[in-house]
A and B are shown apart, each in its own frame.
Chain A
Amino acid sequence: MTNAVIPSPSKPWESSLEDKRRTFFLLVLSLLVSSVLVKFWVFNGKLGFAIAFFISSQIIFVSNSYRKLGAPAAKDSLLKGFALMGITLTLIPIISIISTVVIKGYKGLHPTLLFKDMALASVNDPIANGGLLHALVGTVIMVSGALLISFPIGVLTALYLTEIKGKFSRPIKFLVQAMSGVPSIVAGLFILSSLVYPITKQLSGLMGSFALSILMIPTIARTAEEMLRLIPNDLREAGVALGSTQWKTVSSVVLPAAKSGLVTAVILGVARIIGETAPLLLVSGGGDSLNLNPTQGAMGSLPYYIWKAFLTGGTDEAFARAWGGMLVLLIFIFILFGLARFLSRSKVN
């Protein structure tokens, strides 16, 4: 009848251009105030500037909200300021750690790094001598050994918690939690006291695998449990309704459906132990030459390589070597994490 005007959609909750301009202005103002404070008052240095900036911006933003919307808005703005401070303080070390490793580590990289071991080189030699082949191989062997032990145990624990739901579910959940809190050095001492001293009487890569698996089992068990819980109950009920037994349901419906989740559990477990140092210092011996036999003789590992270069070196070459090893380790962790992210994303889609 009449010309109906179709209103264009508006988003009144979003901050308008004016709000953004005001926020920017207030930020500049608090920067100015804090630099004045640093220049003319007790605050000095980077820390002083950070504190002055935090205090002045809090005061400015809080009073601005108070002027506009009263006390509740002022409190709201205060919490937002603190939350921003919290996330900033969390991010600073992460960025600092990653940049330190990259900046200091790339000097320790060398084209032949991955093809030589340290049998004929000392940590203080030029970077071109020696490499971390033995450490890489040792880490791969020990981590895969640990994985072979922990994966079945971790998955069985998760299955007990999600499929059987027996009367021990609660205590076992607690025990898995408690196990994830076992200090890594205690895991090393345990392997020493239970296997090395009474039985094998020598340090070897296999012992390292055992010690690492103690730290790995809880991570795998907890992640696998979470992943199995994500499998909808309908699938289990459908399996049982079609007449299959619980074993058939679990083995041909639940576990295949949770496959990518279980891979994620493995990856997170590997990421948890790949840089573990303390137990390896106690039980793996820590060799400098390539050793492919996990049951005999000392076996090197990336963390041990880094540890040795830092502690026994002292020259620039030793530090470059250590940071280089750290960079390799960090790259491994990055790759593992990227894989885990990718898998969990593809599962959701």
Chain B
Amino acid sequence: MAITKNAEIGVPKPREITTQPRRSDQIFRAVVTIGGMASLAILGLIALFLSIKGLHILQEEKFGFITESNWEVITDADGNVAQKNFGIAAMLVGTFICAFIAVIVGVPIAVLSAIYLTFYASGKIKNFLVSLIDLMAAFPSLLFGFWGFFVFMSSAEYWAKLLNKYLGFIPIFKVPAPIFERSPFIAGLVLAIMIIPIVTSISREVFAQTPLDRIQAAYALGASKFAMIKAVVIPYGRGGVIGGAMLGLGRAMGETVAVYTVLNVVYQINWQVLFGAGGNVASLILLKFGEAGPYEVDALMAAGLVLFLLTLIVNATADVLVSKFGGKGK
């Protein structure tokens, strides 16, 4: 019976077995891959277009663009450029000074708070604090800038005076004139406050990933919390924390509005962090953009290109550091 029925229908052909994806999957994979390449395309386009506009400035100024500190463009009566001189050394130095102050002040505080949140706080207090710090990470830089200017400045000025009074023998804490307002020191502190929530949440996530069995092994061997953190958490999380700090550095270097508001942008190299004059490439762009002619805009594009490459390098370093040290002890 069954045999005859089979004979009627005919033996079905074996299904073709293949690893070749269907047409729909091929389209899907192609679309997703193209979408995934968008970040590459956008970063490439940013570099390309900033170069198109700014490269001729870099070619004319050569290395002077990053080693000299002038920003002059003089146009004659017809609006043609008669004389120009662009160099952003002062602003580059200012960028690094502010960003380093931010990292030196902000990262230890952030790591300590992350340790507190991961290993000391518990229950509702922990959830509340974590939400609060994540919320702070989403505050706009505008808010930090104006808060820094109107509220924070007076306290920070007082701290700067104290530093100058007691540590004034160290060259960077000297001031040529007693002007402590709107200094790189204060801008750096505001940036530190800005990066604390970012570094805290990254460090907290890294610490939370420490393998529980190792933590408990340390406790079982009689370690105190301090000994456990020193022997297990820090070696495990070092890479992640360094990466977080580098991300904070990148954020601090590219910050525009907060620095523009707090810092007194002056076109000179100023190593004396307590003195009220400094700069930052991003705030230079904002400052000069309003009144810039077409030629000067090209120079600003070149400055933007330098800033873009700098943050790219910092981020790449962070990435390398995390992949080199991160996850050690797994």
A residues within 8 Å of B by Cβ? 45, 47, 72-73, 75-76, 78-80, 82-87, 89-91, 93-94, 96-97, 100-101, 152-153, 155-157, 159-161, 163-164, 166, 168, 171-172, 174-179, 181-187, 189-190, 192-194, 197, 214, 217-218, 221, 245-248, 250, 268, 271-272, 274-278, 281-282, 303, 306-307, 310, 322, 326, 329-330, 333-334, 336-337, 341
Contact = CB atoms under 8 A, between A and B. Distances in A.
Given A178-B43, A186-B308, A97 B35 contact: no
Contact of B109 (A89, A190, A337): A89
Given A75-B226, A275-B141, A87 B38 contact: no
A165 B312 CA distance: 24
Given A160-B33, A177-B319, A329 B143 contact: yes
Given A75-B226, A96-B151, A181 B256 contact: no
Contact of A307 (B45, B121, B142, B229): B142
B301 interface: yes
B257 to A, nearest CB: 5
A93 B190 CA distance: 10
26 contacts: A75-B226, A76-B225, A83-B115, A86-B112, A89-B109, A91-B132, A93-B147, A94-B133, A175-B43, A177-B319, A179-B42, A183-B311, A184-B254, A185-B285, A186-B304, A190-B45, A190-B49, A247-B22, A275-B140, A275-B142, A275-B143, A307-B142, A310-B146, A326-B143, A329-B143, A334-B135
B257 A326 contact: no
A181 B251 contact: yes
Nearest to A303: B142
B224 A160 contact: no
Contacts of B256: 183-185, 277-278
B245 interface: no
Contacts of B141: 184, 275-278
Interchain residue pairs A-B with the least CB separation, the first 7: A275-B140, A156-B35, A86-B112, A183-B254, A160-B36, A83-B116, A247-B28
Contacts of A176: 39
B108 interface: yes
A217 B42 contact: yes
A197 to B, nearest CB: 8
B89 interface: no
A272 B133 contact: no
Interface of B: 21-22, 24-25, 27-29, 31-40, 42-43, 45-46, 49-50, 52-53, 108-113, 115-117, 119-121, 129, 131-136, 138-144, 146-147, 150-152, 155, 158-159, 162, 193, 196-197, 200, 224-227, 229, 247, 250-251, 253-257, 261, 282, 285-286, 289, 297, 300-301, 304, 307-308, 311-312, 314-316, 318-319
A82 B112 CA distance: 7
A39 B42 CA distance: 61
Contacts of B35: 152-153, 155-157, 159-160
A189 B112 contact: no
A181 B112 contact: no
Contacts of B143: 97, 101, 275, 326, 329-330
Nearest to A166: B33
Contacts of A275: 139-143
B251 A168 contact: no
A227 B139 CA distance: 23
